[in-house]
Structure formats: structure tokens, C-alpha cells
Structure 1
Amino acid sequence: MCLNLCIYSAIRRGIIYLFFGAFQAVFVSVYNFELWQRGILFLLVGMVSAVLSDPYWRSNYCRLERNHRARDNSETLMPEWRLLQRYLACLYLCLGN
């Protein structure tokens, strides 16, 4: 089982690295991007994904906040509610590598 997971992970990482290598090669050879422009391009991909997912995470936090206030009537909010977003980010980071 461990060998299968290692092989699967290696194949997935190889595909991810090929994608990012091709992504960079296309913008260098076709559009003549320089090094700083390529870096901004990768930052743009991350920022667009963060901006597109933010409404979901904000509504999830507001829902948890409403449920807590309806149950307890206390004003103390749990900062741990934002950890779900971080857990999934760690999971996606592992999946992407």
C-alpha cells in the first residue's frame, strides 16, 4: 500500500511540475515574459483562486457565528471556526505537491 501511494504521489507531483513548467514555458516563448513577469503570473493564479473562494469561506464563518449566537446567546466567538479554511488549504497544498 505504501509503495502504491508513493508511486501515485510521484506521478501526481510530476504532472503538477510539468503543468507549472509548461505554464512558464508558454508565457516565456509565446509572450516573451521576463522573470519578474512570470513570478507575478504565478502570484496572480494564487490570488484569483483566493478571491474566488473567499465568499464561500465568509458565508461559512457567518453561518457558524449565527448558530453559536442562537444556541448560547454569548458574544464570545470562537477563532477556531476559521481553522477549517486552513485545514483545507493544507490538504490542497499536499494534494498539489
Structure 2
Amino acid sequence: MVQLSSGTPFSPAIFEVEANLGTVVSILNGPNITLTGSNGGSMLMQIGASSTGSPFITNVAPPGRTQVRIGGTLFVGSALANPGGNYSGTFMVTFIQE
């Protein structure tokens, strides 16, 4: 049995969107990304849907902000392809005010 989180905390990316109350905002996810490991491995990450859905309508007036959480799916291969270590990468998410 392999423990998925191995006790390491994880969370989605959290964004705070500030816009006028009732503004329609669409979210455009960037492409899948490759995470590079500290021990030579790599794995694919697919950006998931947002907690608000897209498009969504802001429900707070400034200076308040609407919190948006976006997670993803990791595609992990064998221990040889994905040895233990720290993996990092950069992903893009665009918020479009309509």
C-alpha cells in the first residue's frame, strides 16, 4: 500500500479576485505542465476546475475579494520515472473580467 500524501500537507492554489460587485469573471487555464524533480524525475500536472466554476459572478464589493481555489491532477509514473524528492513547476491561469 502506498500512502498518497505520505503525511505531507497539500492544498489547491488560492487566488483572490477583486472586482466590482456583480462582475462576471471567466477563468482560462493554461496548458498541462511538467513538474521537474530534484532527483531527475518529472511528472505531468493537469490544471483542474475552479471552486467557483467559470464564468462566475463576484459576490463581494471592493476592498473585499472573491476567493478562487484551483487544484489539479498529477500523473505519477513508476518509482524509476518519479523518484522521491521535491517537484516544482509553473502554471498559468488567466482571469478575464467581462
Q: With the length of structure 2 as denominator, give the TM-score of the two structures.
A: 0.28
Give the TM-score, by structure 1 length: 0.28
Report which of the two structures shows the higher radius of gyration computed on alpha carbons: 1
